[in-house]
Amino acid sequence: MADKSPRNAQSEAEALAFSGQLGKTIQRLRKAYNLSLSELSEQSGVAKSIISQIERNETNPTLATIWRLSQALDVSIDRVLSAAHDADFVEDIPPNDMPVLTSEDGKMQLTIIGWSKTVEWLQWYDVAAETGAVLESEGHQRGSIECLSVLSGTFEVVAGQETRRVEAGGTVRYRCDRPHTVRCLEAGTDGAKGRATMVCILKAAVME
């Protein structure tokens, strides 16, 4: 399957604004522990130059980097990210700006409705498929879980040796750290496409 992590310019701009508050929080916690940049780098495994860029709002850190810093500072990720919860946040994305992935057979489209800031560990999509559409994917990080909630039509999921048929209104959850396939067995009525929501939780990404 195609890479599930493209980013659009508007989301990147918002993410950089978010990391500005994150940088202040990291710097405040580092100074509270009387740690130099070099000391925090040694304890976290994050390069000194990267930490400096985060504090100066010059880079957009991944969740894995935030996790390493939070462990070194002996605080939870929730606390590190708490500064971002203080300000109101609303983001409008026009339909034409939503990235779309297409299966190799051209019969299934996945509109990326997830936030680029969480793409390292949480991804979600709006799925539209014709009858007979097939989406084949390689395995993701170990321990990852995918959830498919069918809104209309009938889908089939094959994960490893397991096969499940999912009707409208149903949800199937399955390990996606191995090759897996999603098929649209029957689209909607009156020529409408089968519709579903797909959520992928990449559990191992936080620990890398």
Q: What is the pLDDT of residues 24-66, one digit of tens each?
A: 888 888 888 888 999 999 999 999 999 998 888 887 777 778 8
Could you read off the pLDDT of 58-73 as tens digits, one per residue?
Answer: 877 777 788 888 888 8
| Predicted pLDDT of residue 80 | 67
Q: CA–CA separation, 156 vs 172, rounded Å?
A: 9
* Threshold 0.75, pTM exceeds: no
More confident residue, 202 or 207: 202
| Predicted pLDDT of residue 96 | 78
Work out the mean pLDDT of the chain and round it to a whole number: 81
